[in-house]
Amino acid sequence: MEYFLNDLQKAVKQMARTIAEEKILPVRAELDETEEFPWAIMKYLADTDLFGVWLPEEYGGLSGGCLELCLVVEELSRVCLGVATSYAVSSLGSFTLLEYGSEELKRKYLPDIASGRKLAAFAVTEAEAGSDIGAIKTTATRTNGGYLLNGTKQFITNGGEAEIYTIIALTDKAKGPRGASAFLVEKDTPGFSFGRKEKKMGIRASTTRELVFEDCFVPEGNIIGREGMGFITTIRLFDISRPGIGAEAVGVAQGALEAALDYAKKRIQFGHPIISFQAVQHMLANMATDIEAARALVYATARTVDSGVRRNIGLESAMCKVFASDVAMRVTTDAVQIFGGVGYMRDYPVEKMMRDAKITQIYEGTNQVLRNVIASELRKKKAF
Ligand SMILES: Cc1cc2nc3c(=O)[nH]c(=O)nc-3n(C[C@H](O)[C@H](O)[C@H](O)COP(=O)(O)OP(=O)(O)OC[C@H]3O[C@@H](n4cnc5c(N)ncnc54)[C@H](O)[C@@H]3O)c2cc1C
């Protein structure tokens, strides 16, 4: 399919592919085994300016947008979804600041994110507030010149590795959904520490940790937007970040398709390469068709975000994340099937891809919750 990419888009896609093949591919199995954070690869991505793709030039970025980010994420995910997640979450940790932060805050933090000198992270989830983010308990209590944060965030990607955190906390419990606010918190702030690092099924090259706040003082200048806007900014954040999860899903599925195709041409059974059997051919045909449909939906959604023509893109961004992640799970499972017994072994890459793909159906809104979002948007529609 021709997606009519411009010069910047082609360049960042090619750069990401080169890094993925030359730097990530040789170490991906080791990263999966050791669960070590891929700092060396983050450095290559920083050296090639890829952390700046989604940020404006005035803050040191390349002035791309959601589509450019998706292209990079897709290429990295084609080789390793864990590394791709570590990279992509810096955008999750900076979008709210970019859209709602004061000029002073943006000038202070965005250039370090754009250069890759510092990673960013975003934290709303808590032990009792996953899909139901309205149930968060972390508080931000007003004090002289700022706020005191208290509470624990769970499952935070880049936790402990990132220097810059966007934290959602309650400034007024009584106000319900309008009682939360977003704050910018630096890693070494007193009262801010890290809990346990999770041991995960997949994306093991990414770090997932608890964040702990105990009377952590945050100056009032570090509020992002105004008091009470925390959930509004979070909903907006996920609307523009979900195409990135769609791109992760397309990338991991593409990697699995290529591996399965290659194996099917080489594996001989009954005197023939298994690709000569129609059952295998049809699996490959379905995999390729599903991936292209997912890619088209992800790119179209990313382009809608970048055009700025419509602010409410909750419907499309939920659709592209749900569709692409379901495709990723189907395609990676079928890739394991095409490999047969060896597909189940760690010597081959497809079992890792299957384990990695699962997360795309869970984070940034589970696919069940996002189907609720799609249905609710459909109910509101008066015309198509
Ligand atoms: C590896 C990893 C990285 C993560 N990174 C981050 C991060 O960087 N920052 C962050 O803030 N969070 C992060 N999360 C949290 C993630 O977004 C949540 O795990 C996710 O939103 C689901 O919440 P939960 O785990 O509490 O599941 P629950 O909400 O407890 O859901 C359990 C099950 O119930 C279903 N369910 C719940 N409510 C409904 C409903 N209304 N209708 C239908 N079904 C429903 C769900 O679909 C799911 O199947 C991460 C999670 C993981 C696993």
Give phi and psi for 135, each to the nearest 5.
-95, 10
pTM of the model: 0.98
How many angstroms does the Cα of residue 134 sit away from the middle of ligand 1? 13
How many angstroms does the Cα of residue 73 sit away from the middle of ligand 1? 21
Q: What's residue 282's pLDDT?
A: 98
Q: What's residue 307's pLDDT?
A: 95
- Collapsing DSSP to helix, strand or coil, 116 comes out as coil
130 pocket-lining for ligand 1 (C-beta < 6 Å): yes
| Long-range contacts from 374-383, C-beta under 8 angstroms, 24+ separation | 374/315, 374/318, 374/319, 374/322, 377/314, 377/315, 377/318, 378/315
Q: What's residue 383's pLDDT?
A: 86
Angstrom distance (rounded) from CA 321 to CA 343: 26
Q: What's residue 384's pLDDT?
A: 85
Q: What's residue 311's pLDDT?
A: 82
- Collapsing DSSP to helix, strand or coil, 277 comes out as coil
**pLDDT beneath 70: ranges in the chain:** none
Structure tokens at 320: 């592209």
Give the number of the atom of ligand 1 that is nearest the alpha carbon of residue 129: 26
Give the number of the atom of ligand 1 that is nearest the alpha carbon of residue 158: 8
Q: What's residue 117's pLDDT?
A: 97
Give per-residue pLDDT as tens, 268-322.
999 999 999 999 999 999 999 999 999 999 999 999 999 998 888 999 999 999 9
Q: What's residue 310's pLDDT?
A: 83
Angstrom distance (rounded) from CA 1 to CA 296: 9
For 187, which DSSP code? T
User: What type of residue sits at position 357?
Assistant: A
Q: What's residue 95's pLDDT?
A: 97
Q: What's residue 164's pLDDT?
A: 98
Give phi and psi for 200, each to the nearest 5.
-110, 160
239-257: b (≥16 Cβ within 10 Å) or e? bbbbbbbbbbbbbbbbbbb
Query: Quick one: which of 179, 46, 185, 191 has its CA closest to 123?
Result: 185
